[in-house]
Structure 1
Amino acid sequence: MTRLHIDHDYLLEILRALLAIPSPTGYTDMIVRYVSGELGKFGLAVELTRRGAIRAIRPGVEERGARAIVSHLDTLGAQVKMIKDDGRLELVPIGHWSARFAEGARATVFAGDGAYRGTILPLKASGHTFNDEVDSLPVGWPYVEFRIDALARNREDIERLGVGIGDIVAIDPQPEFLDNGFIISRHLDNKAGVAVMLAALKAMQDEGVETPVDIHWLFTIAEEVGVGASSILTHNVASMVTVDNGTTAPGQNSDEFGVTVGMADQTGPFDFHLTKKLVDLCGENDIRYQKDVFRYYRSDSASAIEAGHDVRTALITFGVDASHGYERIHTHALRSLAELITAYATSPVNIKRDFAESGDVKGFTRQPLAEAAQDLSPDIEDDELEEQEHH
């Protein structure tokens, strides 16, 4: 068994700290600085891209064939779309989330001259004024508005405050950590994934474990808008495991306990061999797991592949109830994910051909049908079998 002990208190402490830092896509500098500082405490050198995606490499025996583990720092949010004559602000969402979950949210708008608190309200918010119309108003971003908690009765007042079109709005997470292990909050996607990665890294540093190849700890800043890991990978990386949320909902097999291994998302199947390795590691290390296929979902893995990176990708998740809303998770899944990361990072390299970016067919992988064919033809040389398979 290669999984390591996870510091549960540290995992929860770091998650609380991350949730307290607003980081909607486009406003991530603060959280980038915080996570960079945490990585520095573990003795890792931090590299930032121009916009702030983080790369920290923990050296292994080999630089070639490096493994990457990635989460995203950015969350959902909103932007000011229009300043209304009555001083209220029209909003558009950052990322895909329902205005149903925005109604009643406390939030902060980051203006040029400072930040202002406020509330997202339906256009018809007062039952004393609109009676039953408060229940018949449609759901959608055109039907909510932001009320600033300042003297803001008209457009001129708003402009005097320095608030302008395009200013970013961060939604309060309002977290609750319950004694039974459940955590309820906005933005657990994907601050819980970041906390899992840092807890796994701490376990590896505490134990001083050696890995067969370099491990690239990556944190992206625009996953919620589809950019994700498109420009953070180096040529040394052969495989990438994304840590993100799984959706516990009717028709899904995800769970709030254990690891949920993503088998496919809307962009297609994840890498057969890397996914199988992760599932096998769960079995070998007595880590509870289940598999799931996500229909309306994409992650850092998808953005990396679409950007042209030739890497094996996989997705491991913590089950989230009400994803992109008031989300709920359980610490059992977080600990299980961190344990799996440590088991994966320290596990032997099975596909050494991946040390090179390309090569001939020698050493190329086989999938079960080919393996079965070889079992049925034990006297056929490897090259001959490959020739038969080719034809």
Structure 2
Amino acid sequence: MSNYPNIEETKALIKDLVTIPSPTGYTKDAIQFIENRLAKSHVQTKRNRKGGLIATLPGKDTRKHRFLTAHVDTLGAIVKEIKDNGRLKIQAIGGFPFNFVEGEYCTIHTVGGEKITGTILMHQTAVHVYRNTSELKRDTENIEVRVDAVVKSEEDTRKLGIEVGDFISFDPRVETTDSGFIKSRHLDDKASVAILINVIEKLVADQTELPYTTHFLFSNNEEIGYGGNSNIPPETVEYLAVDMGAIGDGQRTDEYTVSICVKDASGPYHYGLRNHLTEIAKANQIDYKLDIYPYYQSDASAAIHSGHDIIHGLIGPGIDASHAFERTHESSLKHTENLVYHYVQSEMVEE
């Protein structure tokens, strides 16, 4: 157990995941990657109609189930309009201000399968031409994509196969540092996806019998609010979302511990499950922080809003600069993975 988790393997898997484009609505490649990987361990999986993937590990008790989720969908954009000059107007997918992606490299994914690169810029970027560029609003009127092709008109761009409704993914620019950090876009929530995959593979490799049948949903609509609100078996008692912990002024969450959420914008999480998670952490030398996320809702929140009668909780690695250029530390990944690993082997909380 001393060699688990192998954080170098976790970081390598995160790097693989963040480089697979998967803005909400265009997650098929990421889901296929996870499905193929779990198939190597002979894990039972199935797709739901929304395109998410559910992996199931049988447990000793089949009358009560557990359900864990992490989301594979990320922030992104979509082509709203092709301008007269051949550049693209876009709309955001997910909640972020456009200044968070200004200057970012991106890829346009055409219906025909072409991948055409570009850069997200203000229309009024040239300071030698536009005096007030710093004062202008970063919005759908002023932000555009400069396509990396010789295009001078709307017709030129359409000839490339680009059309309204094409998805746009952001370059993750993933890097790891000698000091233990991993920085990249889309750590929300691909860091947690990697953690769930690792836990599943560890349990299967060790032939660990879980106390309860446990489902792992890799959801694909979380960034727009309803990723994990369906396909929850009626036997499910506990539902744990594994998502990022939010860092900022007034927050206890940091990049070095696992964050256990007490409350977010949807309301308090289950008191008994929260205390159960903290007791597991204390018993296993897992560093954790309790926290409240004021502008946040999880897949577990979506499940509650959908009317499911479940005990719900939320944990995750601390992610700095959420929905921008994110960063976390390997120690946070280690503590989160350890907490998930021990949680799925624990007894359920008293209802």
TM-score (norm 2): 0.96
**1:3: Cα distance to partner?**
9.5
Q: Tell me, which stretches of 5 or more residues in structure 1 are unaligned? A: 352-364, 366-391
Return the alpha-carbon distance in structure 1 between the equivalents of residues 194 and 5 of structure 2. Answer: 11
Q: Tell me, which stretches of 5 or more residues in structure 2 are unaligned? A: none
Match of 2:138 in 1: 139
Question: 2:271 aligned with 1:272, yes or no?
Answer: yes
Match of 1:262 in 2: 261
Within-5 A mapping of 1:121-132? 121-130=121-130, 132=131
Match of 1:383 in 2: none
Which structure dedicates a bigger proportion of its chain to helix?
1
When the two structures are aligned, how many residues end up with a matched partner?
Answer: 350
Amino acid at match of 1:38: R
Return the alpha-carbon distance in structure 2 between the equivalents of residues 303 and 51 of structure 1. Answer: 15
Deviations along 1:230-252, one digit per CA (max 9) or x if unpaired, are 11311121111111111110111
Which of 1 and 2 has greater Rg? Answer: 1
Amino acid at match of 1:128: H
Return the alpha-carbon distance in structure 1 between the equivalents of residues 158 and 80 of structure 2. Answer: 14
Amino acid at match of 1:212: P
Q: Relative to 1, partners in 2 of residues 1:241 and 1:158: Cα closer, same or farther, differing over 3 Å? A: same
Q: Is the 8 A contact 1:4 1:203 kept in 2?
A: no
Match of 2:220 in 1: 221
Question: 2:300 aligned with 1:294, yes or no?
Answer: no
Match of 2:75 in 1: 76
Match of 2:118 in 1: 118
Q: Is the 8 A contact 1:111 1:162 kept in 2?
A: yes
Deviations along 1:24-49, one digit per CA (max 9) or x if unpaired, are 00100000100011111222111101
Q: Relative to 1, partners in 2 of residues 1:4 and 1:61: Cα closer, same or farther, differing over 3 Å? A: farther
C-alpha RMSD of matched pairs (Å)? 1.5
Return the alpha-carbon distance in structure 2 between the equivalents of residues 233 and 267 of structure 1. Answer: 19
Q: Is the 8 A contact 1:260 1:291 kept in 2?
A: yes
Deviations along 1:165-212, one digit per CA (max 9) or x if unpaired, are 111101110111111111111100000010111122222223322211
Return the alpha-carbon distance in structure 2 between the equivalents of residues 64 and 97 of structure 1. Answer: 41
Identity of aligned residues (%): 34
Match of 2:252 in 1: 253
Deviations along 1:142-179, one digit per CA (max 9) or x if unpaired, are 22101111122111112212211111101110111111
Instruction: State the 4+ residue runs in structure 1 displaced beyond 3 angstroms.
Output: none
**1:137: Cα distance to partner?**
2.1
Return the alpha-carbon distance in structure 2 between the equivalents of residues 179 and 125 of structure 1. Answer: 35
**1:285: Cα distance to partner?**
0.8
Return the alpha-carbon distance in structure 2 between the equivalents of residues 112 and 47 of structure 1. Answer: 26
Return the alpha-carbon distance in structure 2 between the equivalents of residues 252 and 266 of structure 1. Answer: 14
**1:4: Cα distance to partner?**
8.3
Deviations along 1:293-339, one digit per CA (max 9) or x if unpaired, are 11100110111111121111100011111100001111111111110
Amino acid at match of 2:32: R
Q: Is the 8 A contact 1:119 1:148 kept in 2?
A: yes
